[in-house]
Amino acid sequence: MELGFINCTVLQGGHISCNGTLYEIPEANLTADDQQFWIYVLIYATLILFAGLMSGLTLGLLSLDLETLKELKYNGTPSEKRNARKVLPLVKRHHLLLITLLLSNASAVEAMPIFLDHISTPVIAVFVSVTAVIVCGEVVPQAICARYGLPIWAFFSPLVYFLMCALFVIAWPISKILDCLLGEGHTALYRRAPVQGALDQDKKAAQDLYTPSEHVLMLDIEARLDAKTMNEIIYQSQASIPIYEGSKDNVVALLAVNSLLGLNTAKPTPLRMLVENGTAKPIQKTDKNKTKHNLYNEFKEDSCMLR
């Protein structure tokens, strides 16, 4: 029986050479006692959060309508105006924004297994990766961004600008190809009902919108708000109550039902007092033939309640 000898040499880079054949030495997984283990955990958690942020921004920013943003920029609240100004330049570069966010998200997701393989077994790595990507990388971020929307997108707009610059060499050529194939415009889809309503604004008149007085609960200015009257108001389920003086054709004020919350019905309150102290608001009278569009502008300019 012949005896054989195997000559093995350990090489750099985790390899071993045995009789001229090169083998790779399997790496042992890191444990919690190793400092590098916690570094990999921190990097992996950062990648999950980054991928989730990119997913949420993709859902939010790409669903924004340019016309809506322009409306908020000029006619929104101070915070809406400020946020719209930050987000509007990003949304205008629709395809460049799309490619930047997708590349960022894909890079983070693809890098996650590199670090997870060093701190867990393959079975655990698959389970953790799938759970983390679905829950932390998709569901939670998209739910948060869909709920809070514009403020979040505006807050992270500097990060998006940075990513655009960092990935510009790759993202810009692809975005230009998409611009040539699909066009640069970002078109929003609308349902039939809102579009039809907008088109009908110059066709419908004020008389087509009002509710006949016989179907509305109206109160005399000399009446008092007691328990019986309050029950009648609740039963009628109106948002506001017209108040008339003398006859029902002479409406002098409009009383919002929610302004009556906390009113003590044990001591009847005169309606005239509510009119005089400003709880009941003055009404806006208009021509019955005025179009819906002009009517809306009139209410908007005079800061009246739309009822």
Q: What is the mean pLDDT of each run of 10 residues along the chain (307 residues)?
A: 63 67 64 77 88 86 80 82 89 91 90 80 78 80 77 90 94 91 63 56 66 80 84 81 85 82 75 84 75 69 53
User: Out of 3.40.50.450, 2.10.10.100, 3.40.50.2300, 3.10.580.10, which CATH number does the structure's domain 211-287 have?
Assistant: 3.10.580.10
Give residue 306's pLDDT.
Answer: 46
- CB-neighbour burial class of residue 206 (10 A; exposed 0-12, middle 13-18, buried 19+): middle
In the chain, list all ranges with CATH 3.10.580.10: 211-287
Q: How far is CA 53 from CA 40, 70, 229, in A?
A: 20, 25, 54
- Could you please report the per-residue DSSP string of 205-260? BGGGTPPPGGGS--EETT-EE-HHHHHHHHHHT-SEEEEESSSTT-EEEEEEGGGG
Q: How far apart are CA 112 and CA 51, in angstroms?
A: 10
The pTM (predicted TM-score) of the whole model is 0.54
Q: How far apart are CA 176 and CA 95, in angstroms?
A: 8
Rounded CA Rg of the chain: 33
Give residue 130's pLDDT.
Answer: 80
